[in-house]
Amino acid sequence: MNTLTNGQFNELKGAIRGDILQAGDAGYDAARTVWNAMIDRHPAIIVRCAGTADVRAALDYARKHGLPLAVRGGGHNIAGSALCEDGLVIDLSGMRSVQVDARQRRAWVEGGASLRDFDHEAQSYGLATPLGINSTTGVAGLTLGGGFGWLSRTLGLAADNLLSAEMVTADAQRLHVSETEYPDLFWAIRGGGGNFGVVTRFEFRLHPVGPEITAGLIVFPSAQARAILMQYRDAVDAMPADMTVWAVLRKAPPLPFLPTEAHGQDVLVLPVFSPSRGASVDAAIARIGKLGEPLGMHVGPMPYTAWQQIFDPLLTPGARNYWKSHNFARLSDEAIDVVMRYAGMLPTPQCEIFLGLLGAQASAPPPQAMAYPHRDALYVMNVHTRWDDPADDARCIAWARDFFRDAAPYASGGVYVNFMPQDESERTPDAYGANYQRLAEIKQKYDPDNVFRANQNIRPAASAAA
């Protein structure tokens, strides 16, 4: 492993306001721990940045000494892109400021903030922007990959609501990017991942949401799941834009509103969400409940922040995780059959298959509006394989890969970049479709040496053609 000499350490320390960690230092192992326990990398240096000047200095140091580079925001990425082996990590986890202007409905968010950080500040004014479904997720990684969640049918993606960003590019320049300033770079970071620089601050558009919304869970026995999924699919086109219903197949957690005998059994869960309240929402939810005979329902008014955290207990750090994902423009009978077959042989009780419903405002922009292109994706399927024992690696990964293979004929061919594990680099062009070539050209312009390559990498146009 690379280690710093006293002179090199003093050179870096003199340029950094935050902390610098190496192997053997107190806090080093905690700082190299990320959400997915399958990621076990040993950076030579972790720079815990206190501000943008630290980011610039760390980036300049890494380039000067030829060190591989990674950028850590929330550390939640399935592929572990927050870490690199024997290189330098720019760690933004201490930069978590969220500033809200309620009159202008704007929020300025630093690159290490989590969804919980964002919601805590914005909801004090009854405001929100579309983010994800797990409050420990980092705002930066989510947004840079496009970013969808419960509000996306109503308000679009996180990237659709990004107004500007401050970032440090590969040559350590600090830029403010927007539709009018470096518009090509602004286009690229809305879906292009961490390929183009370190985003230290985001500016988002905010919308009135909450503090109370309508949400909850409707749980059906697996014996009804196929018939319900077909009805659910047929009902989606008529679903109002302020209604979101996902479908999750898994073992039933010990939810208090379910019969004890259902705990641990195969179930279909329909999480329902609407930022609205009132009779029309209640009627729409009642219709969802009548798709079958539920084992239990728990739906009603609740704080938006509570709903944003409701799945956190199922997504705690420390477990081993492997994902495979497909986009679907439609859910055919054959696709549903594949889902049902693999839902019947989940390799561990923590595994699940979810179908995230998009459409409505998430599909409104044209595919070329920004780097994220998948406006035809009505469903994003994530095969979420999760377990604790490394001895189960081969069995669990094989299940996910087999499921992915058998579902592929019925999928659109696209993939959401934030759901790609570390062994899927060959799918990166699928994450961007017709936008890939333009992204490669922008990469060549701003990062010709591919400094930012600890990601689902877009190679610079010159090297891509080589």
Q: pLDDT for 239-253, tens place per residue?
A: 999 999 999 999 999
Identity (one letter) of the amino acid at 379? Answer: Y
Contacts of 417 (CB under 8 A, 6+ apart): 145, 146, 191, 193, 428, 431, 432, 456
Q: Could you tell me if residue 445 is inside a domain?
A: no
- Write out the two tokens for 312: 């956190």
One domain for residues 126 and 158: yes
Q: In the structure, what pLDDT confidence band is assigned to residue 1 with cuts at 50, 70 and 90?
A: low
One domain for residues 63 and 105: no
What domain count does the chain have?
A: 3
One domain for residues 129 and 25: no
- Write out the two tokens for 183: 């518009």
Residue 463: predicted pLDDT: 63
Share of the chain above pLDDT 70, in %: 97
Q: Please provide the average confidence, as pLDDT, over all residues in the chain.
A: 95
Is the pLDDT score of 466 beyond 60? no
The CATH number that applies at residue 188 is 3.30.465.10
The CATH number that applies at residue 10 is 3.30.43.10
**What is the average per-residue pLDDT within 437-453?**
97
C-alpha 356/C-alpha 351 separation (Å) is 16
* Buried/exposed code over 140-163 (b: 16+ C-beta within 10 A; e: otherwise): bbbbbbbbbbbbbbbbbbbbbbbe
- Write out the two tokens for 277: 């309240």
Q: Could you tell me if residue 464 is inside a domain?
A: no
- Write out the two tokens for 423: 């062994």
- Tell me the pLDDT tens digit for each residue of 14-66: 899 999 999 999 999 999 999 999 999 999 999 999 999 999 999 999 999 99
One domain for residues 247 and 328: yes
| Domain region containing 67 | 6-91
Contact between residue 196 and residue 447 where contact means Cβ atoms under 8 Å apart: yes
Identity (one letter) of the amino acid at 384? Answer: H
Is the pLDDT score of 417 beyond 70? yes
- Nearest Cα neighbor of 229 from 251, 252, 253, 246 is 246
Other CB atoms within 10 A of residue 368 CB: 13
Is the pLDDT score of 375 beyond 90? yes
Q: Could you tell me if residue 442 is inside a domain?
A: no
One domain for residues 84 and 105: no
C-alpha 288/C-alpha 299 separation (Å) is 11
One domain for residues 239 and 253: yes
C-alpha 71/C-alpha 73 separation (Å) is 7
One domain for residues 358 and 417: yes
One domain for residues 53 and 200: no
Other CB atoms within 10 A of residue 212 CB: 16
The CATH number that applies at residue 397 is 3.40.462.20
